[in-house]
Structure 1
Amino acid sequence: MSVLAVNDINFNSEVNKNATTLVEFGAVWCPPCKVLLPILDELSDEYGERLAVLKVDCEESPVTAGGFGILSMPTVIVFHNGEPVEKLVGLRPKNVYENILAKYTT
């Protein structure tokens, strides 16, 4: 698995493909977003089929970003069965994401 870039057009279909999906809302120029992407790659590899990891470029997909009230980057939203269940604003250590995912990927 790896981090899949999605946009306004395919966001909903991709979020609904898996029971648990982690979505990073960021931008190419955002330094904390650049730090977060390797962490998301690791999570994608570690969780395998139990987790889809998506990223949304807020500048390229303003409709999706606006729909979830993204005001700061990075923002990570965890979706379970297509519904947002957790929202983290700002860069966090890997274990914070792991603790949240443990609730939804068992």
Structure 2
Amino acid sequence: MMQHKAEPQDILAVFREAIPAFQVLSDKTRQDIILLLDEHEETGLNVNEIAEKLPLSRPAISHHLKNLKQAGLVDVRQHGTGNYYYLTLLQAVEHMKHLISLLENNCELK
């Protein structure tokens, strides 16, 4: 069964919605943070724990975490007096899968 072709403006809208995730994922430090959080998915990590594992200051780590949170790739929960960051990749990954599907079904792949 053949897939219905999407309108170019619909594909463009999906591209535009993906921009925040693509922007934050293009940074190597943020990629490192994502992998660290994945290794500690059950407990999450606080800024100090991330800073112990990466050669960055706590303010720099906080800045990267803020960007990841704004893009919807991480979230934070309070535990005691600390804030622990954890991954929330599902929506971003589903959005990227949708974009890939649109491209596969509507663009000539060579």
Q: TM-score, normalised by structure 1?
A: 0.25
Compare the two structures and name the one with the higher helix fraction: 2
Highest relative contact order (Cα 8 Å, sep 6+), 1 or 2?
1
Compare the two structures and name the one with the higher strand fraction: 1
Instruction: Select the structure of larger CA radius of gyration.
Output: 2
